[in-house]
Amino acid sequence: MGLAATQARFLGITARKANCEFQSMQIAQQKLSITRELEKATAEYQSALDTTKLIWDPDGSGENTFDLSYNLMMTPSAVNNYAPYFITSRDGKIVLNSKMAAAAEAAGIPKDGCKPTAELFMDFVNNMVRTGGMSETAATACRAIDYDECLKYTGMGAPMMDKTTASAMGINDLIAYVDILIANKDASSNEDRKLAEALTFNFGKDENGEDLWVYKDPDNSREKVYLNLKSSIANKGDANSNYFVRNGNITQDTEFTLSDLLTEDITFAMTGDKVKAGFWQKLCAGLLSVFTGGFAYNAILDWITSGNSTVNLEKCTIQEKALVYCLNDLFNGLGELFDMENATDTDVQAFAYAAQQTMALLGTSKSFPRKRHSVDVFNSTVSEANGINGWASMGAKSNKNYGTTAISLSNLTESFLTYYAQGLNGFDNTYYINTDADMSSYVTDDPYYMWEIGDPSAETTMDMYNAEFYAAMFNNICNSGWTENDQITDKEYLSNSLLNAQYFISSMSSDNYYYQDRYTENGYVAEVVDEEAVTQAELAYTMAKSKLNSKEEKLDIDMQKLDLEISALSTEYETVKQMINNNVEKTFTMFSS
């Protein structure tokens, strides 16, 4: 091979060797890059091992947990025990999502809060349905309950219904239960419909809804006398007349419910005729003897009409008959409510005692000083009757036939329940009845006394849970004010906001008020390792490591090929280089000779 050719070959080997060495350097850089990527993936995986999340642990076991979410805390369910848990800002305002905020704004609730009212509650409920913040079913339950009587203080000091036993409830829940039962009776089961009808009364009517009557003179005349309730009172009063009064207003609408008796002032009044205490005293004496003998709780009217009674409804006044029927219906309804058919002997005896003591109140009366004008006499007597357990009477100076006698059916009902509680509690002096209502201690004034009723239907109970839930929400929104955050429904955003103390959780305390605290203080929210995030991070790390290892293995193979090629080129390089040196030396030797 000539010198020129050898030189050309040498230059080609040199260039190829340099290229291989350059490729080797590139591969080395790529492997270094892979090392950095692997270090990054490892760091991310290590960081993920410390990832936590907030969970909702309803029973504290750690086995039945749920990811913490806004809807979980602000939608009634067994998971939150049908009580709202509020996300609150640092200034205590309740954080609402876009749907609830739209409902609050449309209802006219200021962001700084306001005084809650029944009308505002209905506006809020209706707008919550419109915006999708609550279901129509829950709204129907809210509308069925008297807000002022049953829901006004829910979540603001008043106890909520005990969820551990649906048959135990405070007086406000009991009233709400009756309201819902009656409102839904047409769509309810036969048992619920029967109970709803038993707790609905009609003064002056018999079991068929017909007007009650008596003979004017049972021994000598067949002329019938009816109650003939007046619709109003004349300017100068009415002599020998009967009135049905609700909250001070005379009405001929005589249908009412147990809830009405416990939340309104329902009174029967009459002018002219005096109350015959002897009738009620005889009735009570007879009832005492039959109760002692194990008399059934719901057979008072049956006993009176059986011929064995100490009184005769054929020879009583129409007013006495109307009251006997009214009390009989009341006792029957309460007996159904408290499930006396399946009650213990102690419960039945307590019920019988309450019935006897309540009827004894009709044998007592309190007279008040006479007044000149008969209308004043009527109004004053009705007002005084609402403060008396028994009859209140007042004479008119102008004419004795214009005097008024009245009795509060509401007080009789509250007295019965108080006597019943006395019997159940061993006749202690916690609750008691005196002639003056102000000197009495009614059990119905104690919101914490728990009433055991018959097995309530799941549907009615659920309606009560829903109504209480949204009432507590509304009351606290009005009390604390509200703010909108449309990101609050995002689980990650909510969790970060709580972990970073941007927001807090307000929950109901033992005093039935809501208090703001850190997320870990309410007993249900816990911070735990996010196993799902760890698993995903581990999967991502494994995949990344596998890809990097595969890439590194390919680079190793390429590097080995280059090393072999560089080694071969180095050998050839030395050989050609020696050939060039030999050719040069031979040429110089030839010319030098």
- Name the residue range of residue 130's domain: 60-174+458-529
Distance CA 212, CA 434 (A): 31
Distance CA 201, CA 209 (A): 10
Average pLDDT, the chain: 84
| Widest distance between CA atoms in the chain | 181
Give the contacts of 14 (CB within 8 A, at least 6 positions apart). 573
Per-residue confidence (pLDDT) for residue 592, from 0 to 100: 66
Domain final position from 452, 477, 495: 452
Structural domain contains residue 406: yes
Helix axes 318-337, 190-198, angle to 10 degrees: 140
State the Cα torsion 169-174-176-177 to the nearest 10°: 90
Residues 297, 385: one domain? yes
Distance CA 322, CA 227 (A): 8
Residues 276, 406: one domain? yes
Per-residue confidence (pLDDT) for residue 304, from 0 to 100: 67
> What tokens were used for 447?
């919101």
Residues 447, 555: one domain? no
pLDDT digits (tens, 9 = 90+) for 354-367: 988 898 898 888 99
Residues 298, 357: one domain? yes
DSSP state letters, 233-277: --TT--SS-EEEEETTEE-S--EEEHHHHHHS-EEEEEESPPP-H
Structural domain contains residue 42: yes
pTM (predicted TM-score): 0.69
Residues 321, 375: one domain? yes
Give the contacts of 465 (CB within 8 A, at least 6 positions apart). 76, 82, 161, 163
Total domain count for the chain? 3
Residues 348, 221: one domain? yes
- 301 Rama sector, left if φ>0, alpha if ψ -120 to 50, beta otherwise: alpha
Do β-strands 525-529 and 52-56 pair in parallel, antiparallel, or remain unpaired?
Answer: antiparallel
Handedness of CA 67, 72, 73, 78 (dihedral sign): negative
27: CATH: 1.10.287
Residues 473, 393: one domain? no
Handedness of CA 570, 573, 575, 578 (dihedral sign): negative
CB atoms within 10 A of CB 470: 25
3-state secondary structure of 572: helix
Domain final position from 452, 469, 496: 452
Structural domain contains residue 194: no
pLDDT digits (tens, 9 = 90+) for 487-499: 999 988 998 899 8
Indicate the DSSP class of residue 388.
B
Handedness of CA 356, 359, 363, 366 (dihedral sign): positive
> What tokens were used for 424?
């159940």
3-state secondary structure of 506: strand
Per-residue confidence (pLDDT) for residue 353, from 0 to 100: 87
Residues 326, 427: one domain? yes
Structural domain contains residue 188: no
pLDDT under 70: residue ranges of the chain: 1-7, 10, 45-51, 60-61, 163-166, 187-188, 273-277, 286-311, 400, 458, 529-534, 537, 541, 569, 572-573, 576, 580, 583-584, 587, 590-593
DSSP state letters, 423-460: HHTTS-SSSB--SBGGG-B-GGG-TTPPEE-S---HHH
Residues 300, 234: one domain? yes
Per-residue confidence (pLDDT) for residue 431, from 0 to 100: 92
Handedness of CA 491, 497, 498, 504 (dihedral sign): negative
Distance CA 404, CA 411 (A): 18
Distance CA 209, CA 207 (A): 6
Structural domain contains residue 182: no
Residues 524, 571: one domain? no
Measured CA to CA in angstroms, residue 317 lies from 70, 278, 285, 393, 400 at distances of 64, 12, 19, 18, 19
Structural domain contains residue 108: yes
CB atoms within 10 A of CB 88: 23
Residues 486, 356: one domain? no
Per the CB < 8 A criterion, the answer to whether 129 and 102 are in contact is: no
Do β-strands 255-257 and 200-202 pair in parallel, antiparallel, or remain unpaired?
Answer: antiparallel
Do β-strands 200-202 and 525-529 pair in parallel, antiparallel, or remain unpaired?
Answer: unpaired
Residues 90, 210: one domain? no
Give the contacts of 517 (CB within 8 A, at least 6 positions apart). 504, 505, 506, 507
**Short-list 363, 404, 411, 364, CA closest to 387:** 411
Per-residue confidence (pLDDT) for residue 132, from 0 to 100: 92
Q: What does the buried/exposed string (b/e) look like for 496-530 if buried means 16 or more CB atoms within 10 Å of the residue's CB?
A: ebbeeeebbbbbbeeebebebeebeebebbbeeeb
Structural domain contains residue 191: no
Structural domain contains residue 387: yes
Per-residue confidence (pLDDT) for residue 306, from 0 to 100: 59
Domain final position from 393, 417, 452: 452
